[in-house]
Chain A
Amino acid sequence: MSAMQKVAWFNLAVVLLSLGAVLSLLPIVGTQRAQAGLAILGLFGLNPLFLRRKRGRAVFDERDTLIQRRSVIVAYTIFWVAMFGVSGLAALVYGLDGSVPVEVILVFPAYAAMVLLAAMSVATLVQYGWR
């Protein structure tokens, strides 16, 4: 398994773990406090650990660069579709003359990052062949 595959699996696990934490906290502490589960997303900061260079061995090469480039294109396409979808959903939920609560705006970037990273990870794993 290449370093980039490990990064993709790790990021996907972090997204699922964070989402799981929010969903499991939801019935116990309520919607607002359950968002504390998003703190797990901070684990993304551990990504560089997978890219440490081993003696004389390349961890990243031209094939990985190509796969990453394609994954970014796929992820941004999905991201923008999701952004427009969420914008439309906001109009449905809050009404055209309604207002979006600040607490929703506060957690929105975290969920946007989740969509982006999950899409990028899945696109990466598909191109490597999942193994």
Chain B
Amino acid sequence: MAGKRPNPLENRIRRLRFDHGEMTQQQLAERVGVTRQTIIALEAGKYAPSLLLAFRIARAFGVGVEDVFQYDDADREIAAG
């Protein structure tokens, strides 16, 4: 049996928080309307956000979605066979 597949969605939320005046997880959570635990899970790569939340996070930092989230292409190649 194969092991648990790693999350193919990587993100730069932690980096972007620090680049935006060392914004706290709580501040970001309040800005995008989620709990701090969700921000923690996102930063740890344990949760893939909905498209809506991904856009909200990107807008909170004033950047595009792909500046925050990167999809691992290697994973896509494996899936395609």
| Number of residue pairs A-B, CB distance < 8 angstroms | 35
Interface residue tally on B, bucketed by range: 10 to 19
The answer to the question of B64 belonging to the interface, with a C-beta cut-off of 8 Å to chain A, is: no
**Cα separation A128 to B44 with both chains bound (whole Å):** 13
**Chain B residue at minimum C-beta to C-beta distance from A59:** B35
* Interface SS, B side: helix
A56 within 8 A of B: yes
Chain B residues within 8 Å of A2, by CB: 35, 37
Number of interface residues of A (CB under 8 A): 13
Taking a contact as CB atoms under 8 Å apart, the answer to whether B29 and A62 are in contact is no
Is the beta-carbon distance between A62 and B34 smaller than 8 angstroms? yes
Q: Which of A37-73 contact B (CB under 8 A)?
A: 56-64
Does B30 contact A60, Cβ atoms closer than 8 Å? no
Distance in angstroms between the alpha carbons of A128 and B53 in the assembled complex: 19
Within 8 A of A (CB), among B25-55: 26, 29-30, 33-35, 37-38, 41, 47, 49-50, 52-53
Q: Chain A: residues with CB nearer than 8 A to chain B?
A: 1-3, 56-64, 128
Closest 4 pairs (CB-CB, A-B): A61-B34, A2-B37, A63-B38, A61-B35
